[in-house]
Chain A
Amino acid sequence: MTPELGHYALILALFVAFFQSTIPMWGAARNNIYAMNFAGHAAMAQFLCLLVAFASLTQAFVTSDFSVANVVANSHSLQPVLYKVSAVWGNHEGSLLLWVVILAGFGALVHFFGGNLPPNLKSRTLAVQAMIAVGFLLFLLLTSNPFARLDPAPFEGRSLNPLLQDPGLAFHPPMLYIGYVGLSIAYSFAVAALIEGKVDAAWARWVRPWTLLAWSFLTAGIMLGSWWAYYELGWGGFWYWDPVENASFMPWLVATALLHSAIVVEKRDTLKTWTILLAIIAFSLSLIGTFLVRSGILTSVHAFANDPERGVFILLLLVVAIGGSLTLYAWRAPQLKGGGLFRPISREGGLILNNLLLTSACATVFLGTLYPLFVEVLGGDRVSVGAPYFNATFVPLIIPLLLALVVGPKLAWKRGDIWAAMAGLRLAFFITVIISLGVGILIWQKSAVAIIGLSIALLMMLNSVGDIYTRAGFRKSGFIKGLKRLIRLPRAFWGMTLAHLGVAFLVAGATGATLLTYEKIVALKPGQVTQLSYFNIRFDGANDVTGPNYTALRGHYSAISNDGEIIAKFTPERRRYVGGGQETTEAGIKSTFWDDIYVVIGDRGEDGSYVARLYHKPLAPWLWWGSFLMVSGGFISLSDRSLRVGAPKRIGDNAVIKNKIRNA
């Protein structure tokens, strides 16, 4: 019964969305307060309908209702409950349902928290949001119905792909989608502003928190996926420049640029047309990413469906959403009035440099990802674009960006003094050079390039520490008073500082994990010890184990000190799953603050030995610490009151009050 309820709720949501997209838009044009207020209520109703639909699908999975085709394809009665739930979004139809639920959720949030938005802007924004919903709901209902039934219902499901049966990967899609879909709010705000013909500091103030929210979740989602690849795939790699990875990375780059350019609009009332364009592009890249993953146009292990028919539908959505907004932009943007002047060396200049480098980096990733497609369409010789290309083109763009990150915030608005800014860095620079020389002597044989990455990261970290020190005023007021001031510093400052510090840790971690890994491949008999950089690793034997829905070969390894004491234990596994017969490797990882030891068990040799792949990865944990800091920084900034208060309501926009005044 319940799948039908879910199906019905989905259809109902479509109708609500349709009205939500039309009535408020008309209301804003005619200043009809009732039509405008309809938007908020419709948004709540739409969200409720979709919650019901989602709950119904979840229930079908949890109760293993094999009359629903989706459950058969992605679940199994022996599957752990966590993975029955995560299977809801571990497939094309279910993940699309999650998409629209989150889309509606954001709309509801705008209504909930947007009390002081001028009605015209709010109603138009929610109307645009609903237009997107109509598109995706139609797509769901017409081509990808999650509630499709099977008659007769099979006895058992085919189970979720074992690679997806993993805690990291269970949470990766929801986080990622909140990020992707959250960017739709910035998009809707931008389109609404273009329709209205007005972009001002208040608009920027409203856009920033939503972009920050989406950005934080997007960062978390990407990090989870990367972390999963690291411990699951067995090679210690965390980023492959796979087309689908790039599809999530591109919106992230543009969202970061958007966050920073919105600051300029808010503080200096300039860069408006550019910021509007960024808001449109960020969500457009989310949409293009959806297209790339689901249309079958790019081959990737991530790709859900390889159905070109579905691809055409999504392409249609793209044409309407992106083509429509860009047409509106081409028409209206030149009419937006520009703002104040500033010197090239200034905070504005720094933020423009930030935007220039981030968007160029995004365009580079775009080019590399789509180039094979371009070549194929033009009939040329198929080439493949992988890590070597991106390392050579993307990384050189990021390095100046990181340096700008250090200097930029120190510059004043309008007219900055770069020498004063750099003078503030003197101590940090000096310490960095000394430590870099020291570290360089240790590692230059392994990788000279790594020194660059590590130095920049160190400079950034020292700079952050210095910033905190200066803002707290330790020098002037002493330790206790400084500490007090530190706690009371605005959260926006903490958010920025932590996020930037996170970037530093990320850069150091990426450098260490990529360039400074020590590896050893050796066949070991039980009891044998081998040396891995400055660790001793002993193989303690292997045995067969059984899990809830798999059997596995489990290896036991210990890291022992020179005295023979056990420092750490590892239990890597090679699993074979029931249902599909697929094999996965689970690495045994020991993380300290500074590095990872990573152990994978391989094949059995004829003499009873087992192949072991051992890695020592310095600084690898900093990849995750850095990401965590970035996400935390985002959320802390979000909690800053100034971001949520927004600009005061303008009396003139409210038609009811206008009427009251007229009639008084």
Chain B
Amino acid sequence: MKKTISIIFIIFLLMPAFLLITPFNNALAVQPDEILSDSKLEKRAREISKGLRCLVCQNQSIDDSNADLAKDLRIIVRERLLVGDSDKQVEEYLIDRYGNYVLLEPPVNSQTMILWLGPLIILSFGMVAVAIWYRGIKKTNNKNSDDRNEDDNKNDINIVKLNADEQLRLDTILKE
């Protein structure tokens, strides 16, 4: 029973991994006259637009913005799709003109490695730091209690001396 609970719990913890592969959804700024009649192409257009930055706004996608430039870029995305470009080619078309800055999601390349790996490195560093710290206080506490035991036992006549058997049982209980 404990095993089943732990397995379910671990699956629960792993669910975040899904987030990395499924894109998020967001609002539209598309006008009715921009919408393509081919719904598959339109869906692609919306997905691509959500990843393109509105260059005259703050942190909004072209899908999300009223600006003229955003509208122009939305129309261009659809035009390129109609001409037969792949998603990547549509992005390339805009990157050629505006650089990587036009992508809302930074590209994954050697330059941006630190950005993408950063959070993982930070978390690992934190975990290691906690582990080292914990070992440290374990050592200090054991040392302190050893020192204290020696002094106390000498002066305190009320300390019950455990025989070997009882000591063994005590140790086992404490270890749990």
Interface residues in chain A, defined as those with a beta carbon under 8 Å from any beta carbon in chain B: 234-237, 240-242, 270, 299-302, 338-341, 344, 352, 356-357, 359-360, 363-364, 367-368, 371, 375, 380-389, 391-397, 399-400, 403, 419, 422, 429, 447-449, 452, 514-515, 517, 519, 521-523, 602-603, 611, 613, 615
Contact = CB atoms under 8 A, between A and B. Distances in A.
Contact of B31 (A340, A357, A611): A611
Contacts of A382: 99-101
B67 to A, nearest CB: 12
Contacts of A234: 66
A400 B31 contact: no
Contacts of B75: none
Nearest to B124: A360
B138 A341 contact: yes
A613 B34 CA distance: 14
B66 to A, nearest CB: 8
Interface string B104-129: 11110001101110110011001100
B29 interface: yes
B27 A615 contact: yes
Of B19, B32, B118, B127, most A-chain CB atoms within 10 Å: B32
A384 B126 contact: no
Given A396-B16, A399-B15, A521-B30, A364 B111 contact: no
B148 to A, nearest CB: 13
A25 to B, nearest CB: 32
B35 interface: yes
Contacts of B27: 235-237, 517, 519, 615
Given A301-B57, A387-B26, A396-B17, 9 more contacts: A300-B58, A302-B58, A363-B118, A381-B100, A384-B106, A385-B106, A403-B9, A521-B31, A603-B31
Nearest to B13: A400
B99 A381 contact: yes
A382 B53 CA distance: 13
A386 B118 contact: no
Contacts of B111: 375, 380-381, 383
Contacts of A352: 130
Contacts of A392: 19-20, 105
A359 B58 contact: no
B27 to A, nearest CB: 4
A452 B101 contact: no
A209 to B, nearest CB: 27
11 contacts: A301-B58, A364-B118, A381-B100, A383-B100, A386-B104, A387-B61, A389-B106, A394-B119, A400-B16, A447-B25, A515-B24
B59 interface: yes
B147 to A, nearest CB: 15
A519 B28 contact: yes
Interface-central residue, B31, B51, B119, B122, by most chain A CB under 10 Å: B119
Interface in B119-176: 119, 122-123, 126-127, 130, 134, 137-138, 140-141
Nearest to B137: A338
Nearest to A399: B16
Interface of B: 2, 5, 8-9, 12-13, 15-20, 22-32, 35, 51, 53, 57-61, 64, 66, 99-107, 111-112, 114-116, 118-119, 122-123, 126-127, 130, 134, 137-138, 140-141
Given A299-B58, A521-B28, A399 B112 contact: no
Contacts of B16: 395-396, 399-400, 452
A514 B137 contact: no
B118 A367 contact: yes
Contacts of A521: 28, 30-32, 35
Task: Give the interface SS of chain A, mostly helix, strand, loop or mixed.
Answer: mixed
A409 B138 CA distance: 23
Contacts of A270: 137
A381 B109 CA distance: 11
A359 B126 contact: yes
B140 A338 contact: yes
A383 to B, nearest CB: 4
Contacts of B53: 384, 386
Contacts of B141: 340-341
A397 B15 contact: no
B119 A235 contact: no
A399 B13 contact: yes
Contacts of B17: 396
A399 B100 CA distance: 31
Nearest to A394: B119
Given A367-B119, A381-B111, A419 B138 contact: no
A448 B18 CA distance: 9
A367 B115 contact: yes
Contacts of B106: 371, 383-385, 389
B105 A514 contact: no
Contacts of A387: 24, 26, 59, 61, 104
Contacts of B102: 384
Most B CB within 10 A of own CB, among A364, A448, A611: A364
B18 A523 contact: no
Given A389-B105, A396-B19, A241 B59 contact: yes
B109 to A, nearest CB: 9
Given A341-B138, A384-B53, A449 B19 contact: yes
B32 A522 contact: yes
A521 B29 CA distance: 9
Contacts of B115: 367-368, 371, 383, 385, 389
A422 B26 contact: no
Contacts of A517: 25-27
Given A384-B106, A386-B104, A363 B18 contact: no
B94 to A, nearest CB: 13
- The 9 lowest CB-CB distance pairs between A and B, nearest first, are A388-B105, A396-B16, A386-B104, A341-B141, A364-B119, A301-B58, A383-B106, A235-B27, A393-B119
A76 B70 CA distance: 32
A180 B119 CA distance: 25
Nearest to A524: B32
Contacts of B64: 235, 237
Contacts of A522: 32
Contacts of A448: 18, 22
